[in-house]
Structure 1
Amino acid sequence: MRSGQLLLLKCWVWLFLFVSCQQAQKQEQQPEPQTGNGYKVIAIKDGDTIELLKDGKPLRVRLYGVDAPEKNQDFGTKSRMYTSEMAFGKYVQLVEHNLDRYGRTVGEIILPDGRNLNEELVRNGFAWHYVAYSKSKQLAQLEAEARADKRGLWAGPSPQAPWEFRNGKRKKAAAGKKQEQSDIKDTAQPGSAGRVFICDSKSASTYHVLKGCRALASCKSEVRTITSAQAAVKNRHPCKVCAQ
């Protein structure tokens, strides 16, 4: 009888340990629960972009109706720091609006104390009202008040809107690319419509059809662009490297 009771007791102990282990494994595998307090802010990308933990995965959120300075723009770092102080590590509510062209969720963030993060950024001069994507009268009013009181970035002499800053960078990049393509064309292609290149030196006696000709690269004077007829008047003969 005693041996039977002992065996039964061992079975109950093993069963208890097995169930306990299974429950522990399930708890480890489950993602961080979403409580009634909302979603946890796990990253701050910049002043107007954050990441939340949703269903165990990061969800990138672009704040609706506001545009904060870029990271490499004046006040960009301060704007990011403000958003971090207001939201990082906290549980917030998300009011979704739509998805932007980058696939990010666009929405409003409600802080634990009930304040609207989007509005607070504009109210305190850490972001513009993004009028291209929002007709909010509330955000427009908050920006007007921040401007009048010279809060945050409005205390500067000439704040530049982020969309103007980005547009300027795109134009600069496009101009640089156009110049690069022009340089490549001049270097790799022969002169068109009788255009040739000469070294503006008294000792030079040749003309070149390629601006990137290795013989022309040794020129210590100015490289000029003229017509082949003008080269003939100057008694220039074709380069043996590029004009043959």
Structure 2
Amino acid sequence: MTRHHFLENVTPLVVCTTLLTGCAAPLTSATSGKAPLTLTNVAVVDGDTLRATVGGARERVRIVGVDAPELAHDPRPAECWSAEAGVALGELLEGQSVLAFSVDDVDDRDRYDRLLRQVNVAGQDVAEYLLEQGHATSFRALENHQLSRYYLDIERAAEQRQRGLWGACHHP
């Protein structure tokens, strides 16, 4: 699948994938147009959450658009592929400049007080990468958001190819 980097512009682009017939409807960048935050001292909490320094303060940052398998939380055991998702995210971010963008029509923070951001590293949308590699599923709560269909298409392509969790974990 060709990678599409739609965080750098607010111009429309057409998204095509080799595993899907035709092209998805044109998407515009979901970013709000506000200047991105630069994340430093980035550490992976799990497959969809980071801890980073933002403007001198430590923050938890939830990557918009994806839902990675959960690590163990007493009394629940870890979900299948949770460790692999976290490792993959860490490898992607290691030594890279990390930017976090506000997203139109998405709250600034979630109920856990995490910043909700579209994260970009080295020109790559991190959510897109996690979905392509099968390290996460698309976040269904974004159901009506403009990114929802795009991310769901990427997820389905990874599922068809049995990438990551799709080939390793049991799915109902």
TM-score, shorter chain, exceeding 0.5: yes
**For residues 147-188 of structure 1, what are the alpha-carbon distances to aligned partners after superposition, in whole Å with 9 as ceiling and x for unaligned?**
10000010035236xxxxxxxxxxxxxxxxxxxxxxxxxxxx
Partner of residue 13, structure 2: none
Instruction: Say if 2:130 is the partner of 1:107.
Output: no
Conserved 8 A contact 2:37-2:101:
no
Cα pair distance change 1:40/1:91, threshold 3 Å: farther
Instruction: Say if 2:98 is the partner of 1:84.
Output: no
Conserved 8 A contact 1:44-1:88:
no
Conserved 8 A contact 1:52-1:60:
yes
Partner of residue 178, structure 1: none
Alignment TM-score, normalising by the size of structure 2: 0.66
User: Deviation at 1:62?
Assistant: 0.5
CA distance in 2, matches of 1:45, 1:122: 18
Give the letter aligned to residue 39 of structure 2. Y
Runs of 4+ aligned residues of structure 1 deviating over 6 Å after TM superposition are: none
Conserved 8 A contact 1:125-1:147:
yes
**For residues 204-225 of structure 1, what are the alpha-carbon distances to aligned partners after superposition, in whole Å with 9 as ceiling and x for unaligned?**
xxxxxxxxxxxxxxxxxxxxxx
Structure 2: any 5+ residue segments left out of the alignment? 1-35, 72-77
**For residues 56-90 of structure 1, what are the alpha-carbon distances to aligned partners after superposition, in whole Å with 9 as ceiling and x for unaligned?**
22121011111000111111000000000011443
Q: Kindly, what percent of the aligned residue pairs are identical?
A: 28
Conserved 8 A contact 2:66-2:131:
yes
What is the correspondence of 1:1-244 to structure 2 with a 5 Å cutoff?
38-71=38-71, 72-97=78-103, 98-112=108-122, 114-135=123-144, 136-156=148-168, 158-159=170-171
User: Deviation at 1:138?
Assistant: 1.1
Cα pair distance change 1:146/1:75, threshold 3 Å: same
**For residues 7-34 of structure 1, what are the alpha-carbon distances to aligned partners after superposition, in whole Å with 9 as ceiling and x for unaligned?**
xxxxxxxxxxxxxxxxxxxxxxxxxxxx
Deviates more, 1:127-136 or 1:144-153: 127-136
Conserved 8 A contact 2:80-2:169:
no
Cα pair distance change 1:41/1:151, threshold 3 Å: farther
Aligned residues: 124
Task: Please tell me the root mean square deviation across aligned C-alpha atoms, in Å.
Answer: 2.0
Structure 1: any 5+ residue segments left out of the alignment? 1-35, 161-244
Conserved 8 A contact 1:52-1:58:
yes
CA distance in 2, matches of 1:147, 1:75: 14
Give the letter aligned to residue 115 of structure 1. Q
Conserved 8 A contact 1:108-1:118:
yes
Deviates more, 1:115-124 or 1:88-97: 88-97
User: Deviation at 1:141?
Assistant: 0.6
Q: Secondary structure at the match of 2:165?
A: helix
Conserved 8 A contact 2:37-2:54:
no
Determine which structure has the larger helix proportion and give its number: 1
Partner of residue 25, structure 2: none
CA distance in 1, matches of 2:37, 2:59: 17
